Amino acid sequence: MEKLFQQLNKAIMDSLQEGEYLSLGYGGENSNFTRINAAKVRQIGNVDEADLTFNFILNGRRCSGGISLSGDAEEDLNRSLTELGRLRAEVVQLPEDPYLVLPDSTDTSTNVKHGDLPDSEEIPAKLLPAMGSADLTGIWASGRIYQGSANSAGGYHWFATDSFSLDYSLITPAEKMVKATFAGTHWDQEAYTGFLADSVNKLKLMSLPPRKIEPGSYRTYIASAGISDILSMFSWGGVSEAAIRQSESCLGKMRNESKKLSELFTLSEDFSSGFAPRFNGNGEVAPEKTVLIDKGELINTLVSSRTAKEYNIESNYASGDEGLRAPVMRAGSLKEADVLKALGTGVYLSNLHYLNWSDMIGGRITGMTRYACFWVEDGEIVAPIENMRFDDSIYSFLGENLEQVTDTTHVNPDVGTYDGRELNAVICPGVLLKSFALTL
Amino acid sequence: MDLQAILSSIDVKADWVGLRYVKENTGFRLVRDGKPEANTRESKQGIMVEVLVNGQFAYYGTSRLDSAGIQAAAERAVKLADAASKFSLHSFGVEARPVAKGSYRSPYQTPADAFSPGELSELLVKATSELKVSDKIVNTNAMARTVETESHFVSSNGSDVEQQYLMISADYSAIAHEGGVTQKRTDGGLLAKSYQAGMEVFNEADVLARCRNIGAEAVELLTADECPTGTMDLLLAPDQMMLQIHESVGHALEIDRILGDERNYAGWSFVRLDDFGKLQYGSDLMNITFDPFVENQFASYAYDDGGLKAEKEFLIKNGLLLRGLGGMESQLRSGINGVANFRASSWNRAPIDRMANLNLEAGDSSYDEIIGSVEKGVFMTSNRSWSIDDYRNKFQFGCEYGKLIENGKITRTVKNPNYRAISNPFWRSLKKVGNKDTFEIYGTPFCGKGEPNQIIRVGHASPLCLFDKVEIFGGA
Ligand SMILES: [Zn+2]
């Protein structure tokens, strides 16, 4: 794959004319997807795909494009040159783009990580027998992911990694569920069997008769997986500098009205875990770590070079949408073993579901509790709860109502596959809240 | 590309082979405050090779389009199906892929190439300047999305279906800001104006008039009162009914969800297989149809991706649940009547049960009669926030723009209108359904579902609808 990208890159860049600037992006994957329902195979298949994106600049004007690659070098070069012709014909018709940034990064990097994955045909036999009689529904995804970037200034990056994930729900006959993800780069059958047995054990807690709780404000613990969903909301009308400047961010109040979150809340963009590449679509390499919210104070945002040019500020080489690619929330001091005791009487939430801004500018998020969620009394789990809707502001629950943060961060891999398999992960601890608003 | 010739050259041991070629060009233009933000076109193509072996389907999607590549893909798919067939959830026969022969072409007046990139870009620049009706407007956006799709499906049991679409989505939005208050207005919700249509959608006079109105309403919201809190009548405009139908009817009726396929992702459903024919889903004014033939609606087609011929069907009639949203695979698994909705987002995904055009049929109340019947209520327009639980019960939705209705009259504008309820009781509280004059067609390119994940386009049309005693509230 890298050879094809190198060949295309050279031929396309060689064909550029005076005054033309170009960035190329390569994305591809060879994946197996095995969809499981009731511990049986519902759907199975492989997908081999690759595409090449173009960001073309001439005379202060810019347009972009993308094509599918067939894997045949000659055919793909033809498609690429046709696409370049289309971009040339279009760019002269467009208005000038005052915020465009010429590709000038000459950085290069190659990062290829090899794993040890089962062959696609072996996957059903490796996964399913261990599930036994459990009612397990979920998705296995495995294979190689490729990302490349190159530009007319000579910048070049290549990233490839093997990975697998089995993201699943275990379900009791009374329809109570627990969720887990077994992910990695080297398949280990024994580790898998142990991991699965551990979640089957957790499911036993769910067989207690459920309790219905009334809407109201409760002392609440949200575990790492739930907090990872909250942190993902910061990528949508959150830490983007452009969103803040354009009145489309929940953090506008922090910038404009000196609002603060709790001193216990520190959020960074931190690539040191190595899940995602540091280069963006323009081939620019982000700093290894940027602290965004430091002890409750907004000290940095994600700034793309385009935003930097528009507002005359400095870029930190964020992606075009200025979303988090490597979010990490700092751990606190509450020992995980002491969570129930510290919670006392209240609600323990393992996972959240379907979050949305109910008032983005006000920082208010609504969503559902899901999976293993419990009513706790005097530090003891009493019963699983019926799913509840919450609706509360980050300025409350990550502000004055944030009581403690656990001392351990967990890796929550992004198992999303809308735009191909994701590489990112959210790394965060759990939080104990003095009060959290459950509304329905 | 001669798909039939490739199909007949494939040499594998399978009970059935299908090839689905998809080519899709997606153009997207975005102008912000008169300056170009994006002018892009993605051209994607590939082929989905699907086989049936020992009762198990398996697929291999590839962007390699030569016959050697397709042969190799078919061989791998056969191996996968064979390996998985020892663990099949359901053993299928060839009847899961009915024989289909035909074609479809979406309707349009003006072809996509009638507007040059320069002309369309110029219109969007003008649109943003019309949106800026005052200094209080701090951000304006105009976007146009044009999608040209061709799909060709052939199979070893004789199917041959070609379908071609031109689909246009557009949106114009303005953000107003003054004294710590920020309000946004769009053209009926983000990209809600999504149609199978041509460039006639970009009629300049019409677009610019809408933009002035959007800008004016964003400014109006700055000084509007907060939406009141309380239990009262809720009147929903068709552009919010789109979301209401989608989330609390459409997803709940997908048979693959009811069968549990989505339990690890989108969720399950409060609807159970034995509810069909029995469950009173809503009041007797509620009539929901799966209708693939509404002119210009976003998800019209002649055949689904499994080869089932699309027909109009009532899913809910006079409030009674009759039929599910399930293609042939779900119908064979469940024994429940379904519709032709087995759809894939592109060549690289296997079809699953999706909504297409899912509509609420017009009733007989006029606009005046509906408003006149309300003692106290809020009229909400244009979705801006949506969230619902994994069984499709407890939802909370927010809109951009509200009007207070008091003693049978619209009195004043309110900001940050929200409401929450539970699906069945909510639909049973439907007490007036607008007539044909209040009926409007919308759609969205962004319905997410499935593992691996798929985004697909859906259409929803509805009249005005009035609901009794709903929990309504305002902003933060
Ligand atoms: Zn949806």
Q: Tell whether B408 and B428 lie within a shared domain.
A: yes
Mean pLDDT value across residues B97-113: 97
CB contacts under 8 A, A 315-334 vs B, are: none
Residue A326 near residue A316 (C-beta atoms within 8 A) = no
Q: Tell whether B171 and B240 lie within a shared domain.
A: no
Q: Provide the shortest C-alpha distance from residue A237 to chain B (in Å).
A: 13
What value of ipTM does the predicted structure carry? 0.96
Model confidence at B475, pLDDT cuts 50, 70, 90, reads confident
CA of A229 to the centre of ligand 1 (A): 19
Contact criterion met (CB < 8 Å) for B387 and A356: yes
Has residue A309 got a pLDDT over 80?
A: yes
Lookup: tokens for A212: 């219905």
Q: Provide the shortest C-alpha distance from residue A208 to chain B (in Å).
A: 21
Q: Tell whether B72 and B151 lie within a shared domain.
A: yes
3-state secondary structure of B209: helix
Model confidence at A205, pLDDT cuts 50, 70, 90, reads confident
Q: Tell whether B242 and B357 lie within a shared domain.
A: yes
- Report the first-to-last Cα separation within chain A, whole angstroms: 51
Has residue B399 got a pLDDT over 70?
A: yes
Report pLDDT digits (tens) over A108-166: 999 999 999 999 999 999 999 999 999 999 999 999 999 999 999 999 999 999 999 99
Strands B376-388 and B230-236, by their bridges, are parallel
Has residue B313 got a pLDDT over 90?
A: yes
Structural domain containing residue B434: 226-473
CATH number where B104 lies: 3.30.2290.10
User: Residue A352: what pLDDT?
Assistant: 96
Share of chain A residues as helix, strand and coil, in percent rounded to the nearest 5: 25, 40, 35
Q: Tell whether B356 and B435 lie within a shared domain.
A: yes
For chain B, the average pLDDT equals 97
| Among A39-53, A205-219, B216-230, B237-251, the least confident range | A205-219
Has residue B406 got a pLDDT over 80?
A: yes
User: Residue B435: what pLDDT?
Assistant: 98
CA of B354 to the centre of ligand 1 (A): 8
Q: Tell whether B282 and B431 lie within a shared domain.
A: yes
Contact criterion met (CB < 8 Å) for B35 and A95: yes
Contact criterion met (CB < 8 Å) for B59 and A128: no
- DSSP bridge partners of A438: A216, A390
Residues of A with Cβ-Cβ distance to B388 under 8 angstroms: 354, 368
Q: Provide the shortest C-alpha distance from residue B467 to chain A (in Å).
A: 18
Residues of A with Cβ-Cβ distance to B186 under 8 angstroms: none
Cα–Cα distance for residue pair B140/B145, rounded to 1 Å: 17
Report pLDDT digits (tens) over A230-287: 999 999 999 999 999 999 999 999 999 999 999 999 999 999 998 889 999 888 999 9
Report pLDDT digits (tens) over A107-123: 999 999 999 999 999 99
Report pLDDT digits (tens) over B42-79: 999 999 999 999 999 999 999 999 999 999 999 999 99
For chain A, the average pLDDT equals 96
Has residue B117 got a pLDDT over 70?
A: yes
Tell me the CATH architecture of domain A2-206: 2-Layer Sandwich (3.30)
Structural domains of chain B, count: 2
Model confidence at A419, pLDDT cuts 50, 70, 90, reads confident
**Whether A213 contacts chain B with CB within 8 A:** no
Has residue B476 got a pLDDT over 90?
A: no
Residues of B with Cβ-Cβ distance to A139 under 8 angstroms: 264-265, 451-452
Of A64, A362, A417, the CB nearest to B40: A64
B370: phi then psi, degrees, rounded to nearest 5: -65, -50
**Whether A259 contacts chain B with CB within 8 A:** no
Q: How many CB pairs under 8 A join A and B?
A: 251
**Whether A154 contacts chain B with CB within 8 A:** no
**Whether A168 contacts chain B with CB within 8 A:** yes
**Whether A363 contacts chain B with CB within 8 A:** yes
**Whether A290 contacts chain B with CB within 8 A:** no
Burial class (CB in 10 A: 0-12, 13-18, 19+), A29: buried
Which of B181, B197, B223 is a domain's end point?
A: B223
Instruction: Report the 3 state secondary structure along A325-385.
Output: CCEEECCCCECHHHHHHHHCCEEEEEEEEEEEEEECCCCEEEEEEEEEEEEEECCEEEEEE
Q: Tell whether B167 and B284 lie within a shared domain.
A: no
Report pLDDT digits (tens) over B370-385: 999 999 999 999 999 9
Model confidence at B151, pLDDT cuts 50, 70, 90, reads very high
Q: Tell whether B319 and B208 lie within a shared domain.
A: no
Q: Tell whether B170 and B260 lie within a shared domain.
A: no
Which of B223, B250, B285 is a domain's end point?
A: B223
CA of B339 to the centre of ligand 1 (A): 17
Of A68, A95, A171, the CB nearest to B263: A171
Contact criterion met (CB < 8 Å) for A49 and B348: yes
Task: Give the chain A residue whose CA is nearest to the CA of B177.
Answer: A247
Mean pLDDT value across residues A314-338: 97
Longest dimension (CA), chain A: 74
Q: Tell whether B15 and B79 lie within a shared domain.
A: yes
Model confidence at B298, pLDDT cuts 50, 70, 90, reads very high
Residues of chain A with CATH 3.30.2290.10: 2-206
Give the global pTM: 0.96
User: Residue A1: what pLDDT?
Assistant: 82
User: Residue B383: what pLDDT?
Assistant: 97
Q: Tell whether B252 and B196 lie within a shared domain.
A: no
Of the candidates B96, B77, B59, the residue with the CA atom closest to the CA atom of residue B347: B59
Lookup: tokens for A270: 């931190």
User: Residue B367: what pLDDT?
Assistant: 98
Q: Tell whether B279 and B388 lie within a shared domain.
A: yes
Preferred mutation among A389, A393, A439 to probe B, highest tally of B CBs within 10 A: A389
Contact criterion met (CB < 8 Å) for A44 and B391: no
